[in-house]
Amino acid sequence: MESKGEIRRKIRQERAKIEERRWIRDTEEIASAVIRHPWFKRERNLYLYVDCRGEVGTRRIMEEAFHRGKNVWVPRVTGDSMHFYRIYGMHDLRPGTYGIPEPTGTEAADGRQGLMVMPGVAFDEKCHRVGYGGGFYDRYLERYRNLRRMAVAFEFQVMTAVPHEEYDICPEILITEKRIREAEGDHMQAGLPKDPVMMLSVVNTKLRDFYGSLDELCEDMGVGREEIICKLKEIGYEYDAKGRQFV
């Protein structure tokens, strides 16, 4: 297995090869998947990083959050600590630590509830994460365990395995331009999550990208149609046969 340092160098080289058109296209795919996800729709507080140096872009996610009246919190680093502060628009950002845009305000998040969208250098099949080496997200999430954890990355950042420590805090799901992956395994390939919210996200993605109907999905995966419909009805979603999505 490669070391974290080797992985970081490898990913930097891969990012440098990305053409702007590809970055825009893949970022749009990822942003759309985030915005469609039930966690984004449900949570009022969004903890979002500001992209730089070829990371997955977050501007569209922020703009959609503002449009829906959500609270947007962005990180600011002071010494070895990271805290999140509210912004009301992109004009509330200024270059800060490491040249990354940071919030200028003083309204700090309480960390009690919301959705954290995490960046990362690399991830593996089980959603273990290699960060940038500062440990800021691990320390923050250790303090605020109630936050839902979603990571976004390009597919080339996903490896078979990456080094990880016992104290690392993994995202619960990882979204790339190709798929949605859960921490417990790749449910885009086989099986469905037991949690209805996770199931909704995976089923809608499968229907959008791989299957022409719910019946095809159920037959291929060996899952009962009524089982899916009943579970998703419990959280307020009905199957729209014409649109081939649960809405």
Residue 230 — very low, low, confident or very high, per pLDDT cuts 50/70/90?
very high
pLDDT tens, 72-122?
Answer: 999 999 988 999 999 999 999 999 877 889 999 999 999 989 999 999 999
Q: 168 pLDDT exceeds 50? A: yes
Using CA atoms, how far residue 242 sits from 83, 142, 176, 207, 239, in Å, is: 45, 44, 27, 12, 9
CB neighbour list of residue 39: distance below 8 Å, 6 or more residues apart: 115, 148, 150, 197
Distance between CA atoms of residues 217 and 183, nearest Å: 22
Distance between CA atoms of residues 23 and 21, nearest Å: 5
Q: 190 pLDDT exceeds 70? A: no
Contact 211/203 with Cβ under 8 angstroms?
Answer: no
What pLDDT score was predicted for residue 169?
84
Q: Measured at the alpha carbon of residue 111, what is the angle toward residues 130 and 87, in degrees to the nearest 5?
A: 90
Q: With the C-alpha atoms ordered 103, 89, 150, 29, is the resulting torsion angle positive or negative?
A: negative
What pLDDT score was predicted for residue 186?
41
